[in-house]
Amino acid sequence: MGLHSYFGGATIQTLKMAAVPASASYSRFVFSPISRNLVALDSFPRHSPSPPFPLLARALSMAAAVQTTPPSSEDIGTATGSVGKPQWKAAIDFKWIRDNREAVAENIRKRKSKASLELVLELYEKMLAVQKEVERLRGERNAVANMMKGKLEPSERQKFIEKVLNHSASGKNLKEALASFEEDLVKLSDELQQEAQSIPNMTHPDVPIGGEDSSAVRKKVGSPREFSFSVKDHLQLGKELDLFDFDAAAEVSGSKFYYLKNEAVLLEMALVNWTLSQVMQKGFTPLITPEIVRSSIVEKCGFQPRGDNTQVYSIEGSDQCLIGTAEIPVGGVHMDSILAETVLPLKYAAFSHCFRTEAGAAGLATRGLYRVHQFSKVEMFVLCRPDESDTYHEELITIEEDLFSSLGLHYKTLDMASEDLGAPAYRKFDVEAWMPGLGRYGEISSASNCTDYQSRRLGIRYRPAELAASTNPKKGGKGNLAPTKFVHTLNATACAVPRMMICLLENNQQEDGSVIIPEPLRPFMGGMEVLLAKHHTG
Amino acid sequence: MGLHSYFGGTTIQTLKMAAVPAYSRVIFRPISRTLVALDSFPRHSPRPPFPMLARALSTAAAVQTTTPSTESMGTATVAKPQWKAAIDFKWIRDNREAVAENIRKRNSKASLELVLELYEKMLAVQKEVERLRGERNAVANKMKGKLEPSERQKFIEAGKNLKEALTSLEEDLVKLSDELQLEAQSIPNMTHPDVPIGGEDSSAVRKMVGSPREFSFPMKDHLQLGKELDLFDFDAAAEVSGSKFYYLKNEAVLLEMALVNWTLSQVMQKGFTPLITPEIVRSSIVEKCGFQPRGDNTQVYSIEGSDQCLIGTAEIPVGGIHMDSILAESSLPLKYAAFSHCFRTEAGAAGLATRGLYRVHQFSKVEMFVLCRPEESDAYHEELITIEEDLFSSLGLHYKTLDMASEDLGAPAYRKFDVEAWMPGLGRYGEISSASNCTDYQSRRLGIRYRPAELAASTNPKKGGKSNLAPTKFVHTLNATACAIPRMIICILENNQQEDGSVIIPEPLRPFMGGMELILPKHTGKLTG
């Protein structure tokens, strides 16, 4: 039979065996320590190694060809049982990857990603072949079924039945062969999905190629302040000004937790209020988001909620996690929906608390507020048309720079090098500010253009208006609508409060131990101009 | 040996059997008295099957608290308490009638009989242990002298027997003391003499301000107002997080920020120290504050693979700040106003008022917390409820304050005042805050004492050694909601709505919203095509 002549048992064997290393790489996906993590994906990414786990896809997409399927089941506690089965599917454009294999391979090299393009393409070809075979068999089955509808001689009928029953040399009948192929197809498509999810986003042509040191300085504002007295770090200032309590938090919660006290509370409130008021003036819609989300949303945004070294806190007995950044719940606002082109761009400024395990952060700058388990942040998030994302990326970094300049910080903006990009980022601008206590620049924000990496996972599309407008208004049916496209998403830190506090306290300290409050924040602190040392004893 | 004549094998058997039901009840039974019931949202929970500990006006601290010795992760030692409350068992025994009466009043399931039985047994074993130790020492002393070999052999034999008996008794003592601790932890706090006795209906109205607004137009609830004003997104949150989650949008964000800022500025003027707290804490702290972080029906979200939980109220991390410490009397009272996000599973809340913002998994709250000398806690309780009432009056709410009835008190509360505000959408009063005096219930668990100054001052300054210090006492703790944001938003939106669909922002909040006076309906197009 055609089946075996084309796609014999041996081939199937090969195929199944080929699947084994693939599933082995699943277990890699799920269980191996993930060093490319939350820290590395938004505002605090400098020290993570190059990504062993970048996920998906390509940037400038043509029309969406692949349908995303919404998460079909909760993944509570099934982590070990169905390792190879994706909980949800990204709308990855495999055809594009195949047609641009050289560019994709080059991109994987540039970003030092461990994604295996060869495996993806192999799985894709195999899947196509099986798909073709399934279609052929379906056709055959239908043909037989049609013939049997007509009047037939009993002997003739018997021949058809036998044809169906004894379809192949292996003794399988048509129905069984089809069922077995359909199973293979599902498995292959799952494997392909898993493997392809580790392909990183494409890279903006202007991104410097190489490791962290290759990152290019885009802009530099101010210069390090020279102190005529001995500098205190924010921990010491905080002690003298009675602003933090790390010791009590270590007992109550664990290390790297803290209480903000007295003026530190006012400073946090002022930073959040001022930042929100500034970005609202730029047309951003303010949000306060849930801080507990389903883990599938975390994954769809390109983060890894599972594994030994995950940055993500999980809720016991549920499929929920704590967010590490408001990028996650904001990314989810328009999940699985088709937006009207006229509503784009959507610009959000979301205030949330963020929670991070900081697994694997030992040895990094961990003193005081620099690296903590919980902090407040205002995050900007933009959904826009693909042709506009570069422009909005520039807008976002400009907003950040304006905010930091207004606060009087000395900082530089970097165009991050290819190996330092998280899998979702097409390009990333980091801002690093001078921190006298550390004696170096420390990252205070990050602005990433994720193009369609997240929207292909979250299922966020829009329907272009032009085509619909150009059609005959009389035929206003659905058939005349333009095909949907995936939006581009961008995210950028407007204000990560603790690092801002480090900068403000350390840079604005005076010889008498007081700290000057930046002008823009004063109206949000009841006019307070200076933080004075406390003179009360316990 | 004396041991068996007094305290035979059968007695120990009985004792061990008695212990079984006690443990399994404490640890495994679903706990229906939960977070919801213990601070600002307590109205609808059933009565406490699990009130814990102790008594109110304590004499000097006699019992030493032990700090949690091991992490509570998945260990099989069910019956072992992870930490010990400094419960004054002697006081309980000496006041057994008052304690029994209190347990009845509060409809608590604590078993005073069992506690007293365990206590007496423990005392007896303790006595026996001491007696055996004495005997062993006597034997050891005799063996120091010169002895005939046969004589020595007799003493060696006796010493060996004594040692075995002692080891076994000491083991029993540890077990008994653990059992006693677990059982006694379920005894509720004593009750203020003015608290009305009975169920929720017996709660007494202390104060009433304003009257329900009469609407000359069809009134909308906060969900509909929020929809027209584009203030919330419950649908997206249901997809992203689950039901009872929400996004605040546009002016709702400003309203939240304004409420927090205004509330903090108000309470700071009253001498409260502002705090922003950790929202992840060790579960032992949750327990020490009188909440139950474990069990099927717990209100508490736990972090996977750790002994940490999410806080349901800032009362927990603030209660923990001075844990295991002795404060100077001069530093009291300590008054904190803590801003935090709060997280609650709302298990078992099905069927309650669940529409919109009334009962949600996450919300922002400013919580007041006071640590003070025992004799001052009633006065600070009055101060706290007055601050709450002033805040709500300033916002123009119509509300009433209740002195909550005995059966409606959580185990830690000696007395509790709730404020219920008129919610036109619900067509009834809804709880918006709660102020509790927990006396020494929490401080005996958290180990927070102070050292009275008087005695130390009266002693000879030359002999300024430690022996001259006054004995420490447990502080009293109080907690009170200054502003639970979502219910405040319900009140403001529903009560301040106008016929044109707009909502008037209360005057005090306007300076915190850039002078905004009104929230106006949006005229944006539909987002989805």
Question: Do both B266 and B387 map to the same domain?
Answer: yes
pLDDT for residue A479: 58
pLDDT for residue B253: 98
A57 pLDDT exceeds 60? no
Question: Do both B374 and B444 map to the same domain?
Answer: yes
Spell out the residues 6+ positions from residue A23 whose beta carbon is closer than 8 angstroms to its own. A83, A84, A191
Once rounded to an integer, what is the mean pLDDT over residues A303-320? 90
Question: Do both B83 and B212 map to the same domain?
Answer: no
Full domain range(s) for residue B131: 25-184
Asked if B266 is an interface residue toward chain A (Cβ–Cβ < 8 A), one would say no
B56 pLDDT exceeds 50? no
Instruction: Using the 3D structure, point to which of B184, B210, B225 is the last residue of a domain.
Output: B184
pLDDT above 70: percentage of residues in chain A? 78
Once rounded to an integer, what is the mean pLDDT over residues A53-60? 31
pLDDT for residue A3: 34
B4 pLDDT exceeds 50? no
| A409-429: pLDDT as tens digits | 999 999 999 999 999 999 999
Q: Which of A259, A267, A339, A353 would best serve as a mutation to test chain B binding (most B beta carbons within 10 A)?
A: A259
| A16-27: pLDDT as tens digits | 333 223 333 333
- Count of domains in chain B? 2
| B128-175: pLDDT as tens digits | 999 999 988 888 888 887 778 888 888 888 888 888 999 999 999 999
B431 pLDDT exceeds 80? yes
Three-state secondary-structure class, residue A308? coil
Question: Do both B289 and B431 map to the same domain?
Answer: yes
**B528 lies in some domain:** no
Instruction: Using the 3D structure, point to which of B155, B184, B213 is the last residue of a domain.
Output: B184
Sort out which chain A residues have CB atoms less than 8 A from B321's CB and list them: 245, 248, 252, 259
Residue whose tokens read 């883990």: A295
Element spanning A178, H or E: helix A174-196
Residue that wins the pLDDT comparison between A384 and B470: A384
B278/A253 touch (CB, cutoff 8 Å), yes or no: yes
Spell out the residues 6+ positions from residue A112 whose beta carbon is closer than 8 angstroms to its own. A50, A51, A211, A418, A419
**B409 lies in some domain:** yes
Residue whose tokens read 């599902």: A186
**B482 lies in some domain:** yes
Question: Do both B239 and B284 map to the same domain?
Answer: yes
CA–CA separation, B484 and B243 (whole Å) = 20
B244 pLDDT exceeds 80? yes
Question: Do both B131 and B106 map to the same domain?
Answer: yes
Tell me how many degrees the CA angle A54-A58-A60 measures, rounded to the nearest 5: 145
**B340 lies in some domain:** yes
Which CATH number fits the domain that encloses residue B429? 3.30.930.10
A265/B278 touch (CB, cutoff 8 Å), yes or no: no
Question: Do both B350 and B444 map to the same domain?
Answer: yes
The model's confidence at residue B195, banded by pLDDT at 50, 70 and 90, is very high
**Residues in a beta bridge with A354:** A375
Which CATH number fits the domain that encloses residue B61? 1.10.287.40
- CB distance B386 to B419 below 8 Å: no
pLDDT for residue B434: 97
| A490-532: pLDDT as tens digits | 999 999 999 999 999 999 999 999 999 999 999 999 999 999 9
Give the residue among A373, A379, A499 at the shortest CA–CA distance from A434. Answer: A499
pLDDT for residue A140: 84
Spell out the residues 6+ positions from residue B288 whose beta carbon is closer than 8 angstroms to its own. B83, B85, B319, B320, B323, B442, B445, B446
Instruction: Using the 3D structure, point to which of B135, B164, B184 is the last residue of a domain.
Output: B184
Question: Do both B165 and B266 map to the same domain?
Answer: no
Can you spell out the DSSP letters for B410-437?
-TT-SEEEEEEEEETTTTEEEEEEEEEE
CA–CA separation, A422 and A415 (whole Å) = 13
CA–CA separation, B128 and B122 (whole Å) = 10
pLDDT for residue B57: 30
Predicted interface score ipTM higher than 0.85: no
Sort out which chain B residues have CB atoms less than 8 A from A266's CB and list them: 264, 274
B526/A340 touch (CB, cutoff 8 Å), yes or no: yes
Both tokens of residue B500? 């044109």
- CB distance A227 to A436 below 8 Å: yes
Given A286, A313, A317, which is nearest B254 (Cβ)?
A: A286
| A218-232: pLDDT as tens digits | 999 999 999 999 999
Chain A: give the shortest CA distance to residue B303, in Å.
5
The model's confidence at residue B63, banded by pLDDT at 50, 70 and 90, is very low
A387 pLDDT exceeds 60? yes
CA–CA separation, A290 and B241 (whole Å) = 7
CA–CA separation, A502 and B264 (whole Å) = 23
CA distances to B51, B185, B450 from B61, in Å: 21, 17, 10
Question: Do both B176 and B226 map to the same domain?
Answer: no
pTM above 0.90, yes or no: no
A149 pLDDT exceeds 60? yes
Asked if B168 is an interface residue toward chain A (Cβ–Cβ < 8 A), one would say no
The model's confidence at residue B15, banded by pLDDT at 50, 70 and 90, is very low
B301/A316 touch (CB, cutoff 8 Å), yes or no: yes
A265 pLDDT exceeds 90? yes
- Enumerate long-range contacts of A33-36, CB under 8 Å, 24 or more apart: A33/A307, A33/A308, A33/A309, A33/A360, A34/A304, A34/A307, A34/A309, A34/A310, A35/A309, A35/A360, A36/A422, A36/A423
Interface of A with B in 314-353 (CB under 8 A): 314-317, 320, 322, 329, 332-343, 346, 351, 353
The answer to whether residue B32 is catalytic is no
| B451-492: pLDDT as tens digits | 998 654 554 555 545 566 789 999 999 999 999 999 999 999
Spell out the residues 6+ positions from residue B274 whose beta carbon is closer than 8 angstroms to its own. A261, A262, A265, A266, B264, B267, B268, B336, B337, B338, B339
**B277 lies in some domain:** yes
pLDDT for residue A537: 41
Pairs across A and B, CB distance < 8 A: 176
Sort out which chain B residues have CB atoms less than 8 A from A245's CB and list them: 321
A121 pLDDT exceeds 90? yes
Among A68-82, A129-143, A360-374, B399-413, the minimum mean pLDDT is found in A68-82
A1 pLDDT exceeds 90? no
Give the other-Cβ count within 10 Å of B472's Cβ: 16
Active-site position among B344, B415, B444, B445: B344
| A193-220: pLDDT as tens digits | 999 999 999 999 999 999 989 999 999 9
- Closest CA in chain A for residue B256: A288
B463: which DSSP letter?
A: G
Question: Do both B166 and B231 map to the same domain?
Answer: no
Question: Do both B254 and B374 map to the same domain?
Answer: yes
Given A245, A288, A335, which is nearest B253 (Cβ)?
A: A288
Three-state secondary-structure class, residue A414? strand
A36 pLDDT exceeds 90? no
In chain A the first and final C-alpha atoms are separated, in Å, by: 90
**B14 lies in some domain:** no
**B398 lies in some domain:** yes
Question: Do both B364 and B512 map to the same domain?
Answer: yes
B62 pLDDT exceeds 90? no
**B13 lies in some domain:** no
A42 pLDDT exceeds 70? no
The answer to whether residue B256 is catalytic is no
Among A56-65, A282-291, B306-315, the minimum mean pLDDT is found in A56-65
Interface of B with A in 271-300 (CB under 8 A): 273-282, 285
Can you spell out the DSSP letters for A274-300?
HHHHHHHHTTPEEEE--SEEEHHHHHH
CA–CA separation, A474 and A463 (whole Å) = 19
